[in-house]
Structure 1
Amino acid sequence: MKICAPRRLFGGFAAIAFLGLILAFPSQSARGISDGLGCCALQVIPALFPFFVVANLLIASPLANGLGALVWPFTRFGLGIKGQKAATALLVSWLGGFAVAAGTVSQLYRQGQLSRRQAQLLLVCGVGSGPAFILNTVGLLMLGSTRLGACLFAALLCANLCTGIAMRFALPRSGAQVFCSACGSQAANGQGGFVQAVQAAVASMLTVCGFVIFFRFLGAVLFELLPQNAPVQFIASALLEVTSGCAAAARLAGGGAVAACCCALSIQSLSVLLQVRALLCSELSLAPLLAARPLHLAFSLLWLKVLLRFVPGQAEAASTLADRVITRTRIAPDAALVLFALCCAVLWRAGGFTSAKQSGIIKQTKGG
Structure 2
Amino acid sequence: MRSRLYSAGCLVFLLLLCRYSAACTDAVRAALHLCLTSVIPALFPFFVASTLAISCGLAQTIGALFAVPFRKLFHLPACGAAAMLLSFLGGYPAGARMAAELYHNKQCTREQANALAAVCNNTGPAFLIGMCGNGLFHSLRAGIFLYLVHIISALLTAFVLRPKTAPKSAALTNQSEFLRWIPLFVQAVLSAGRASLHVSAFVLVFSVILSLLRQVGIFSFLLCAFAPVFRTLSLSDGTGILIGMLELTQGLASLTPDTGTLAARLIAVSSLCAFGGCSVLFQTATVTEGLSFRACIRGKLVHAVLAFCLCLLAVSVVPTSWLETR
Instruction: Give the alignment's TM-score, normalised by structure 1.
Output: 0.73
Alignment of 1:139-178 (within 5 A): 139-168=133-162, 171=163
Between the two proteins, what is the percent identity of the paired residues?
26
2:24 is aligned with 1:52: no
Q: Are the equivalent residues in 2 in contact too, given 1:68–1:91 (CA < 8 A)?
A: no
Aligned equivalents of 1:139, 1:117: Cα separation in 2 = 36
Looking at structure 2, the residues matched to 161 and 81 of structure 1 have their Cα atoms a distance apart, in angstroms, of 12
Q: Deviations over 1:230-283 (max 9, x none)?
A: 63422320221111222223452212111111121122111111111121122x
Amino acid at match of 1:197: A
Deviations 1:311-365, CA, capped at 9 Å, x for gaps: 54155x59xxxxxxxxxxxxxxxxxxxxxxxxxxxxxxxxxxxxxxxxxxxxxxx
- Distance apart, 1:143 and its partner CA: 1.6
Task: State the secondary structure of the residue aligned to 1:67.
Answer: helix
Contact 2:53/2:59 (CA < 8 Å) preserved in 1? yes
Q: How does 1:80-119 map to 2 (within 5 A)?
A: 80-83=75-78, 85-119=79-113
Distance apart, 1:214 and its partner CA: 1.1
Matched residue, 1:305: 312
Q: Return the offset for 1:62.
A: 2.5
Indicate whether 1:41 and 2:47 are aligned. no
Q: Which residue of 1 aligns with 2:118?
A: 124
Inter-CA distance 116–190: structure 2 relative to 1 (3 Å threshold): farther
Q: Deviation string for 1:294-321 (max 9, x for gaps)?
A: 4322321232234443454155x59xxx
Q: CA deviation at 1:128?
A: 1.8
- Report the equivalent of 2:25: 30
- For residue 73 of structure 1, report the CA deviation from its aligned partner: 4.6
Q: Identify the match of residue 275 of structure 1 among 261, 275, 283.
A: 283
Task: Tell me the equivalent position of 1:331.
Answer: none
Which residue is 1:13 aligned to?
8
State how far apart, in whole Å, the 2-side matches of 1:292 and 1:273 are: 10
Alpha-carbon RMSD across the aligned residues, in angstroms, is 2.8
Q: For each residue in 1:130-186, what CA deviation from the matched residue of structure 2 results, as whole angstroms up to 9, or x when unmatched?
A: 221111111111121121111111111111111111111xx566xx89xxxxxxxxx
Which protein is bigger by CA-based radius of gyration? Answer: 1
CA pair 140-120 structure 1, distance change in 2 beyond 3 A: same
Match of 2:265 in 1: 257
Q: Cα gap change, 1:71/1:92 in structure 2, threshold over 3 Å: closer, same or farther?
A: farther
Contact preservation (8 Å) 2:119, 2:300: no
How many residues align? The count is: 297
Q: 1:293 to 1:55 in 2, by over 3 A?
A: closer
Which secondary structure does the structure 1 equivalent of 2:70 belong to? helix
Consecutive unaligned residues of structure 2, counting only runs of 5 or more, are 169-177, 224-235
Q: What CA distance in whole angstroms lies between the structure 2 residues aligned with 1:234 and 1:159?
A: 22
1:199/1:69 CA distance change after superposition, 3 Å: same
Q: Is contact 1:250–1:258 with CA below 8 Å preserved after alignment?
A: no
Partner of 1:219: 210
In structure 2, do the counterparts of structure 1 residues 313 and 50 end up closer, same or farther at CA, with 3 Å as the change threshold? same
Give 1:167-246 correspondences, 5 Å limit: 167-168=161-162, 171=163, 193-224=184-215, 225=217, 226-227=219-220, 231-246=237-252
- Cα pair 1:151 1:304 within 8 Å, conserved: no
Contact map agreement 2:97 2:117 (CA 8 A) in 1: no
For 1:141, give the aligned amino acid: G
CA 1:100 to 1:120, structure 2 compared with 1: closer, same or farther past 3 Å?
Answer: same
Amino acid aligned to 1:272: V
Cα gap change, 1:10 to 1:55, in 2 (>3 Å): farther
Unpaired runs of at least 5, structure 1: 178-187, 319-368
Q: Distance in 2 between matches of 1:154 and 1:74?
A: 20
How far does the alpha carbon of each residue in 1:203-229 deviate from its partner, in whole angstroms, 9 at most, with x for none?
101100100111112212322323295
* 8 Å contact kept, 1:103–1:280: yes
Tell me which residue corresponds to 1:180.
none
Is residue 247 from structure 1 mapped to residue 253 from structure 2 by the alignment?
Answer: yes
Give the structure 2 partner of residue 364 of structure 1. none
Paired residues of 1:147 and 1:311 also in contact (CA < 8 A)? no
Counterpart amino acid of 1:280?
T
**Quick one: distance in 1 between partners of 2:16 and 2:312?**
41
